[in-house]
Amino acid sequence: MSEGAQAVERWLAWRYLATRQREGFVSFIAVFSMIGVALGVATLIVVLSVMGGFRDTLIGRLIGMNGHVVVSTRGGSLEATPELLAALRQFPGVRAVRPTLERQALVQVNGQTRGAVIRGVRPEDLLSLPIVTKNIVLGELGAFGTRPGVVIGERLRVSLNVRMGDKVTLVTHSLNESGTIAPRYSDYELLASFLSKRYEFDSALVFLPLTMLQDDLDLDHRTVSSIDLDLDDPAEAPQVAEAIRKQLHRDDLKIADWQTLNARFVGALQVEKVMMFIILTLIVLVAAMNVVASFTMLVRVKRGSIAILRTMGASPGTIVRAFFMSAAAVGLIGTLAGTGLGLLVVANIKTLADLFGRLAGGGSGSWIEVEFITSAPAQVNWGEVLAVISIAVVFSLAAAAYPAWRSARVEPVEGLRHE
């Protein structure tokens, strides 16, 4: 095709987009179709980015207190021998190995009692947990392990009305020689509190030095309830867990990765993400249908012009390409504008989230729950952005194809008859 013919087709496409008297209503619909495509694309990008950041935040808090791979036994007690710990450290991708002893207990302070989960950890392991170290509200962790002291969730501290330095009594249980259960009381000093912004941790979790908890429970210093493994890449947890199963060959061990332990939760997030993508894609589809409707109407309005062009020697292909470029331009410009708008909103999501937080918080005392939502970072996944753009482009080109095909079926005689 010559350069002149291409220039004519582009000129025709532009003329079809221009508003003129009786065709103005059609062009008005086309403009709003373009706005619809832009809003649909922007909404998809913003929602997927926010959901991606929200998902990562949730999973980070979900596995932040636990290992990416958890090694335990079916009997409940595991002997963490130096040989076992060394063997676990040798697996590729394992960054840290943390023996953990966990028990149910009661916490008593000033006549008040709350149920809690006490977790014995080594001081260096507690200091390696960013979800704790970066969220200390009161006190400090420097004395943890040097003297009998505990670190508890901030919600639990507030519910017990306990202050730094106060004595906290932990009530555990043990079996007597006769087989009966007897309570055990141990006093600890409150060293610090943390606010992870996950309710079950902040309202019930108590950290103790591992050896002190083992002594309180009359356990050997090798006895733990589990060994948590931190990995360089949490996504590799299933592969690492499978490698451990194959190489250790120990039937008494239960080896689970965080995805398996939280399968319902992770699966629900994934299903929600897919369904949201499908639902929001319908917005773009509806806008594309408007493009079909508006340019099909335009073809009917322009039948006389098409007939004149055909009698002047324009080929059906020229008419088709002109209408196709005109209709496709609406979708493509809308896609480009929507992508820019979506990325702009994502880049400023923190400002919008703060505004929403102030309006939703409203001094009602629920700021922690609101802040958990509004502080979730929007994470742009460029693969998802490209998928959104591709879907919008496909819808736009598909929407442009039908009115272009209709324009080629206008017969010159019929077109001139209605003029």
pLDDT, residue 357, reads 59
Token output for 86: 């060394």
Which pTM was predicted? 0.68
For residue range 51-67, list pLDDT tens digits in order.
888 887 777 777 778 88
How far does CA 297 lie from the centroid of its chain? 43
Question: Residue 306's pLDDT band (boundaries 50, 70, 90)?
Answer: low
Residue 415, pLDDT > 50, answer no
Length of the chain counted residue by residue: 419
Query: Which is higher by pLDDT, 96 or 402?
Result: 96
pLDDT above 60: residue 410: no
- Give CA 34 to chain center in angstroms: 29
What single-letter DSSP state applies at residue 377?
A: P
Q: What is the mean pLDDT of residues 211-234?
A: 90
| Average pLDDT for 397-403 | 78
At 36 the pLDDT is 85
Do residues 376 and 73 lie in contact, with contact meaning Cβ atoms separated by under 8 Å?
no
Instruction: Report in angstroms the alpha-carbon separations of 417 from 314, 316, 413.
Output: 19, 19, 6
Question: Which residue matches tokens 């009698």?
Answer: 311
Lowest pLDDT segment from 145-154, 189-198, 282-291, 385-394 = 282-291
Q: Who has greater pLDDT, 92 or 329? A: 92
Distances (CA, A) of 365 to 58, 275, 362, 369: 22, 33, 8, 9
Residues whose CB falls within 8 Å of the CB of residue 87, separated by 6 or more in sequence, listed in order:
248
Band (pLDDT 50/70/90 cuts) for residue 70 is: very high
C-alpha to C-alpha distance for 277 and 78, rounded to whole angstroms: 44
Cα–Cα distance for residue pair 226/241, rounded to 1 Å? 14
Q: Which of 56-70, 183-197, 219-233 has the lowest mean pLDDT?
A: 56-70
pLDDT in tens, 269-290: 888 888 888 888 888 888 888 7
Contact 330, 33 (CB under 8 A): yes
Of the candidates 273, 315, 300, the one whose C-alpha atom is nearest the C-alpha of residue 16 is: 300
Question: Looking at the DSSP assignment, which residues form a beta bridge with residue 115?
Answer: 106
The pLDDT tens digits of the residues spanning 138-178 come to 988 988 988 899 999 999 999 998 988 889 999 987 766 66
Give per-residue burial for 3-29: e unless 16+ CB within 10 Å, then b. eeeeebbeebbeebbeeeeebeebbeb
Q: Are 315 and 17 in contact (CB under 8 A)?
A: no
Q: In whole angstroms, what is the distance from residue 393 CA to residue 384 CA?
A: 14
Are the CB atoms for 34 and 224 separated by under 8 Å?
no
**How many angstroms separate the CA atoms of 12 and 15, rounded?**
5
Q: How far apart are CA 301 and CA 19, in angstroms?
A: 12
Residue 43 phi, psi (nearest 5)? -65, -45
Which amino acid type is present at position 196? S
Most confidently modeled range among 16-20, 35-39, 340-344, 398-402: 340-344
Asked if 126 and 207 count as a contact pair (C-beta separation under 8 A), the reply is: yes
Please identify which residue in the block is written with the tokens 């014995």.
120
- How much is the average pLDDT of 70-77? 84
